[in-house]
Structure 1
Amino acid sequence: MNNAIDGAISAGGLVIAGERSGVGKTTVTLALLAALAQKSPRVQSFKVGPDYIDPMFHQRATGRPCYNLDPILTSETYVQQCFAHRCRDAEFALVEGVMGLFDGASGLSDVASTAHIARLLNLPVLLVVDCGRLSRSVLAIIHGYRTLDPRVHIAGVVLNRVGSDRHLDLLTDALSSIDIPILGVLRRQDAISLPDRHLGLVPTAELPHLPEILDRLAHLGHTCFNWAALTPLLQTPHPPAPTSPHTPPPPRPHAPTPPRTTAPKIAIAQDPAFSFYYPDNLDILTTLGAELVSWSPLTDKRLPADIDGLYFGGGFPEMFAAELAANQGLLTQIKTALQQGLPAYAECGGLMYLATTLVDLNEKSWPMVGLLPNAVRMGKRLTLGYRQATTQQPSPFLSQGQCLWGHEFHRSQLDTPPARPLYQLKRYGAAQPHATEGWSLHRVHASYLHLHWGDRPEVAQALVAACTRYAQSARPKVAPFQR
Structure 2
Amino acid sequence: MSATSPARAFIVGAARSGSGKTSVAIGLMRAFARAGLVVRGAKAGPDYIDPGFHAAATGAAGVNLDSWAMPPDLLGHLAGAQARADVLVIESAMGLFDGVPAPPGRSGAAADLARAWGVPVLLVLDVSGQSQTVAAIARGFASHDAGVRIAGVVLNRVASDRHERLCRAAVEAIGLPVVGAVRRDPDMALPERHLGLVQAREHPALEAFIERMGAVMAGSIDLDAVLSLATPLDVAGDAAAALPPPGQRIALADDAAFAFVYPHVLAGWRRAGAEVVRFSPLADEAPDAGCDACWLPGGYPELHAGRLAAAGRFLSGLRAFAATRPVHGECGGFMVLGRAIEDAGGVTHPMAGLLGHVTSLAQRRMNLGYREARLIADAPIGPAGATVRGHEFHYARVTMPGDDAPLAGIADGEGRPLGPSGARRGHVTGTFFHAISRG
TM-score over 0.5 (shorter chain) = yes
Quote how far apart the aligned CAs of 1:257 are: 9.2
Q: For residues 346-373 of structure 1, what are the alpha-carbon distances to aligned partners after superposition, in whole Å with 9 as ceiling and x for unaligned?
A: 2111111111111111111111111112
- Cα separation, 2, equivalents of 1:330 and 1:184: 50
Instruction: Please name the residue that 2:374 is paired with.
Output: 390
Aligned twin of 2:352:
369
Structure 1: how far apart are the matches of 2:152 and 2:186?
A: 20
The residue number in structure 1 matching 2:91 is 96
Give, in whole Å, the separation in 1 of the partners of 2:343 and 2:298: 16
Partners of 2:381 and 2:155 lie apart in 1 by 48
How many residue pairs get aligned? The number is 429
In 2, the alpha carbon distance for the partners of 1:176 and 1:257 equals 49
Whichever residue aligns with residue 93 of structure 2, its letter is V
The 5 Å alignment of 1:20-419 reads: 20-40=16-36, 42-88=38-84, 90-106=85-101, 111-189=107-185, 192-234=188-230, 236=232, 251-252=238-239, 264-338=248-322, 340-378=323-361, 379-395=363-379, 397-417=381-401, 418-419=403-404
Is the CA contact (8 Å cut-off) linking 1:386 and 1:427 kept in structure 2? yes
- Residues in 1 aligned to 2:11 and 2:380: alpha-carbon distance in whole angstroms: 39
Matched-pair contact (CA < 8 Å) for 2:252–2:287:
no
Q: Is the Cα contact below 8 Å between 1:30 and 1:57 reproduced in 2?
A: yes
SS for the counterpart of 1:434 is strand
* Aligned-pair Cα RMSD in Å: 2.5
- Aligned residue among 392, 417, 426 for 2:411: 426
SS in 1 for 2:366: strand
Q: Which amino acid aligns with 1:345?
A: H
The amino acid that maps onto 1:265 is R
Question: How far is the alpha carbon of 1:194 from its aligned partner?
Answer: 1.1
Aligned to 2:3: none
Counterpart secondary structure, 1:171: helix
* Aligned-partner Cα distance in 1 for 2:269–2:74: 17
> Is the CA contact (8 Å cut-off) linking 2:11 and 2:89 kept in structure 1?
yes
Contact 1:85 1:250 in 2 (8 A): no
Residues of 2 paired with 1:237 and 1:411: CA distance? 37
Cα distance, 1:191 vs structure 2:
5.2
- For residues 239-296 of structure 1, give each alpha carbon's deviation from its aligned partner in whole angstroms, at most 9, with x where no partner exists: xxxxxxxxxx9643589999xxxx9321111111101011111111112221111110
**CA shift for structure 1 position 30:** 1.2
1:32-76 deviations in Å (ceiling 9; x for gaps): 012122233621110000110011111111111110000221112
Question: Is contact 2:252–2:278 with CA below 8 Å preserved after alignment?
Answer: yes
Distance 1:192 1:253 in 2: 41
Task: State the distance in 1 between where 2:394 and 2:288 align.
Answer: 29
Separation (CA, whole Å) in 1 of partners of 2:50 and 2:391: 16
8 Å CA contact 2:73–2:237 kept in 1: the answer is: no
Instruction: Name 2:429's counterpart in structure 1.
Output: 445
Tell me which residue corresponds to 1:478: none
Query: What's the CA shift for 1:305?
Result: 4.3
Relative to structure 1, the CA distance from residue 121 to residue 255 in structure 2 (aligned partners, 3 Å threshold; closer, same or farther) is closer
3-state SS of paired residue (2:291): coil
Matched position secondary structure for 1:112: coil
Residues in 2 aligned to 1:198 and 1:282: alpha-carbon distance in whole angstroms: 26
Contact (CA 8 Å) 2:53, 2:200: kept in 1 or not? yes
TM-score (norm 1): 0.83
Q: Is contact 1:437–1:447 with CA below 8 Å preserved after alignment?
A: yes
User: Using the alignment, how far apart are the partners of 1:374 and 1:422 within structure 2?
Assistant: 13
Residue 35 of structure 1 contacts residue 222 of structure 1 at CA under 8 Å; is this kept in 2?
A: yes
Q: CA deviation at 1:107?
A: 9.7
Bigger-Rg structure (1/2): 1
Identity of aligned residues (%): 35
Q: Which moved more, 1:36-45 or 1:204-213?
A: 36-45
Give the whole-Å Cα distance in 2 for the aligned partners of 1:439 and 1:13. Answer: 42
Q: Give the Cα separation in 1 of the matches to 2:217 and 2:436.
A: 32
Which amino acid in the other structure matches residue 330 of structure 2? E
